[in-house]
Amino acid sequence: MPIYKRNNGIWYADIYSPDGKRIRCSTGTKCEKEAQEYHDKLKYDLWRVKHFAEKPKILWDEACLRWLQERRDKKSLIDDETKIRRLTAFRGLYLHQLNKSLIMAEIAKIKGSNATKNRYLSFVQALLNKCVRDWGYLDSAPKLARYKESKRRVRWLRPDEAEKLVAALPDYIAEMAVFSLNTGLRKSNVLNLKWKQIDLERKVAWLHHDETKSGHALGVALNDAALSVLFKQRGKHPDYVFVNRRGQPVRDIQKPWKKALEAVGIEDFRWHDLRHT
């Protein structure tokens, strides 16, 4: 059985390497033809590794898929997914083709501050280091320089600006913004917030140790405004507190967020800054 489909619609490869080791893995696609191509390429690469002592040629896309699969329970998963979606220039390239000059040139095109670009550089560096140290996909990874960042800035909104911004956001994101304004929670905490973390009786939202910057579990007090938001969200999803208009967990809010900021004329403001308002 070279490839087979699971109940989720994804095709999986089931092959034996030249040394007899069985390999079963996701092809990352629901298309049978693409899955078969993935299977054939994997089998060919394994053969070359065996007979020519070559390292397997792995696509950036394949490395990203494995990265996400191994980090499903990490608090940075959504941010990583967003970065991968935006690094379109790397799609279809083999890992060994990603040299320092190419990576730096593509990161330079990203709109945003030096701090934003540095976050992308850190992600790419971490993934490539993983390819070297843990996965054996590369012999070495390029060392990526970082942009010089300005001194830490603190940005906040006046009450009237906050009201205008919330009014300009899509309703499901507006509820998230109001919740952040009243709890000080980071965007990733709000996106990943589940009902099992909410104690309405004690008026507390609990964050696990792997969801906080300090690495310690934390209880966040819920005021009346935050509780009001939660009451509106009840019944929309069995697990996640905040969902989009299709009733699915919210994954990326960047486009509507930027659109709302432009609509009300607010500049140099990030979701993270809501906690200072």
In order along its 277 residues, the chain shows pLDDT tens digits of: 588 888 888 888 888 877 777 878 778 788 899 888 888 887 887 777 666 555 667 899 999 999 998 887 776 788 899 899 999 999 888 898 999 999 999 999 998 888 889 999 999 999 999 999 988 889 899 999 999 887 655 567 888 888 898 999 999 999 999 999 899 898 888 999 999 999 999 999 998 766 666 666 788 899 999 999 999 999 999 999 999 999 999 988 989 989 998 998 888 788 877 876 6
Do residues 222 and 180 touch, judged by C-beta distance below 8 A?
A: no
Kindly state the percentage of the chain with pLDDT values over 90: 42
Indicate the domain borders of the chain. Answer: 3-52, 60-133, 159-276
Neighbouring CB atoms inside 10 A of 161's CB total 15
Pick the CATH number of 159-276 from 1.10.443.10, 3.40.640.10, 2.40.30.10, 1.20.120.1200: 1.10.443.10
Residue 14 neighbours by CB distance under 10 Å:
13
Tens of pLDDT, residues 124-180: 999 999 999 988 889 899 999 999 887 655 567 888 888 898 999 999 999 999 999
In this prediction, residue 113 carries a pLDDT of 85
Q: Which long-range contacts (CB under 8 A, 24 or more apart) does 160-164 make?
A: 161/264, 161/266, 162/277, 164/264, 164/266
Its pTM stands at 0.50
State the Rg of the chain over Cα. Answer: 22
